[in-house]
Chains A and B, each alone.
Chain A
Amino acid sequence: MALADLLKEKSILVVCGSGGVGKTTISASLALAAAMEGRKVLVCTIDPAKRLADSLGLKELGNKETRIPDLVFAQAGLAPKGELWGMMLDSKTTFDELICRIAPDEVVRNRVLNNPFYQNITTALAGSQEFSATEKLFELACRNEYDLIVLDTPPTRHALDFLDAPNRLTSFLDAKVIAWFVGPYLKASKLGFKFLNSGASMAFRVLEKVTGYQTLADIADFFLVFEGLYDGFAARAAKVRQLMSDPATAFVLVTSPQSPSLLEASFFLDRLICEKMPLGEVIFNRVYTSPTNLGSDEVKALGRQSVEKLPGHKTAIDALCANLRLAILLAEADKRSIRHFLEQSSRPLESVRVPFMRTDIHDMAGLHTVCRYLAE
């Protein structure tokens, strides 16, 4: 499906890619493109460039949605037919909100929220950001207030982390593990370790030896309280997963043609296919483009001719030609890696290319320039 159609028809676009490839910029541009065409769009981002957020009038972009003011569009000479909203994900707040939602009463809620172990896992646990991103997405999707939500995923080392992290977190909080973990703690206080199964009791003794008793008590207490919440938690996680493979959802992969990120990208694609997640589009960002169709050798020959006619300008012509030939070389290298990537894929892929811009994109006009390439 062409990107223009995705923007018209889908209700969720999940924008993935490894760090540093320009995910946030592309997400914002995708959202802008859809808003221009009349949809009510929310772009949900993790860590927007401050200059971009500022110039969009999103000074205090917090865990709640803010509408981009008309003035910002007017200044860039744009008149969107729809609405563009932005928000920034705050992992800790999202977690806390989730606990509040699934806790049966205030006592349980506070016991979780105030537990030192809980406070650590919501910020330090690998995957908590990814988890809360999908959680927030689910909540927003349930509210049904937007025609389209564009989710800019957290900056992960591997694009794959985004798919794996929520599962890892859920299994970490799994009831069976909780029972194992809390069980010996409770029993030990009454009976001593010797009545436990030997593996568990030894594991527990080792842990206590290295971490100290109070630590285990905090952890055990957390799991004890959380045990009652787990079903609610897991049920939600399952629904989130469903949402991810819904036909109204599409994944967009952003990558740059420079090879380390391309390698990541192909792993990610295979994985999406294998998980039956709907892949929409591959966006190549920061692609070197050439300002001419001439080849490097042609430039060389033309350069020689030019010097013959204008010997006084030899220094300038030589320098300009060398520079143009470098541009051609870089563009050809990128073209080759993109072609190779697309040919290697086990499935035909829709793709677009966004050139390596002269400067950073940090305002509405810049985003709109990117939109034009996305529409091609």
Chain B
Amino acid sequence: MSLEAIFDKRIVFMTGKGGVGKTTLSMALAWAAQERGKNVILMEVDKSPNLRYILGKDIPVYKETRIAPRLAVFTLEPFKALEEYAALQIKVAAAAKLFLNNRFVSYFMQAAPGWRELVTVGKIWHTHQRTVGRGKNKRPEYDMIVVDAPATGHGLSFLRVPAIFADILKFGRMQSQTKDLLDMLRDPERTVVNVVSLPEEMPLNEAVTLADMAKSTMGMQVGVTFMNGVHPEPFLPDEKAACDNLLSDEAARNTLDQIWPCSGKALFDAAADRQARAQSCRQYLELAAKRLPTPIVELPYEYPGRVDMDGVKRLANLISQALCGGV
């Protein structure tokens, strides 16, 4: 698959360990896609405060909210999705409500395994099925669905659940519906899983596991790994050379020590700190290139470790450049 083809997929999952920047990069990818003329919806599996921070406002749950002419966001909520699903199954919304509000059913559902993930994937499937226009103008309502998956652990099980259910369910209507979900997840024409990671040990390990699981266990296509939060070199090459030059100039350093109250050491310590961080990132990037089966897209750490909408647009630009060589 060419990298550019990611923009032609119907459903793009963004997955990775907790806190690596899935929400930020899902938003950035969605933004990049709408800039390229796609109609995009960002569906987040868990309500994230960070998305609200990025958008600068609160947005309701389980409601499509348009934030740009070609970009909507949607926060999934399993009980709402279940209600919608049950209404579709039972046909009579009131009966569905009655069923779900049954004391025991709701008690059971609070804890019952798997159904949250299943209805979540079901809702994504349903959204990807929706069309607008008639006759030869009929086309999908959204060209692309970016799914901000929950942190791994349950992020993996979230995609694994349809397969688990396909195993458990022997007959029944849900069995064939589950099969539709599996077909969607496993169709490389429609669906791709991207991994988000950081240049650190645990996130990288998790990314390796994830890419492998998605591919071998779940039979899904894996796209790219976004290596987020790469600490850039603190100095440009000429600055670096100038610093080295200063370091080896003893007389100059003595002068500095006289000017700076607690010697010039702080200057060099701070530089060493950031250089070490950049170097550690480089090492993990090399390791990532060896261990990951996917192409890697590097994205810089944005000081001070918090990305707003402007930052998202910068990252979107970088993503577009990396995947397509410029917008």
Contact = CB atoms under 8 A, between A and B. Distances in A.
Do the two shown chains form a genuine complex with each other? yes
Interface of A: 18-21, 24, 47, 49-51, 116-117, 120-121, 123-127, 129, 154-157, 168-169, 171-172, 174, 177, 180-181, 199-200, 202-203, 206, 208-215, 218, 258-261, 263, 290-294, 302, 305-306, 309-310, 312-313, 315-317, 319-321, 323-324, 326-327, 329-330, 333, 358-360, 362
B266 A258 contact: no
Given A120-B164, A319-B239, A358-B276, 19 more contacts: A19-B17, A19-B19, A49-B202, A171-B110, A199-B98, A203-B105, A215-B172, A218-B168, A258-B305, A310-B255, A315-B238, A316-B242, A317-B267, A323-B267, A326-B270, A326-B303, A327-B274, A358-B277, A360-B201
A324 B267 contact: yes
29 contacts: A18-B18, A19-B17, A19-B19, A20-B18, A49-B201, A49-B202, A120-B114, A120-B168, A124-B161, A126-B113, A199-B103, A210-B172, A213-B171, A215-B169, A258-B305, A260-B19, A291-B265, A292-B262, A292-B266, A310-B255, A313-B252, A317-B246, A323-B234, A323-B235, A323-B270, A324-B270, A324-B271, A358-B276, A359-B276
Interface string B186-224: 000000000000001111010000000000000000000
Given A310-B252, A320-B270, A333 B114 contact: no
Nearest to A168: B111
Contacts of A169: 111
Interface of B: 17-20, 46, 49-50, 53, 86, 89-90, 95, 98-99, 102-105, 107-108, 110-114, 116, 150-151, 153-154, 157, 160-161, 164, 167-175, 200-203, 205, 234-236, 238-239, 242-243, 245-246, 249, 252, 255-256, 259-262, 265-274, 276-277, 280, 303-306
Which among A117, A181, A306 has the greatest number of chain B C-beta atoms within 10 A? Answer: A306
Nearest to B177: A210
B303 A330 contact: yes
Q: Could you tell me the dominant secondary structure of chain A's interface residues?
A: helix
Nearest to A326: B303
A215 B111 CA distance: 17
Nearest to B238: A315
Nearest to A179: B104
Contacts of A156: 153
Contacts of A51: 201
Contact of B243 (A171, A294, A316): A316
Contacts, number: 216
A324 B268 CA distance: 8
Contacts of A20: 17-20, 203
Contacts of B303: 326, 329-330
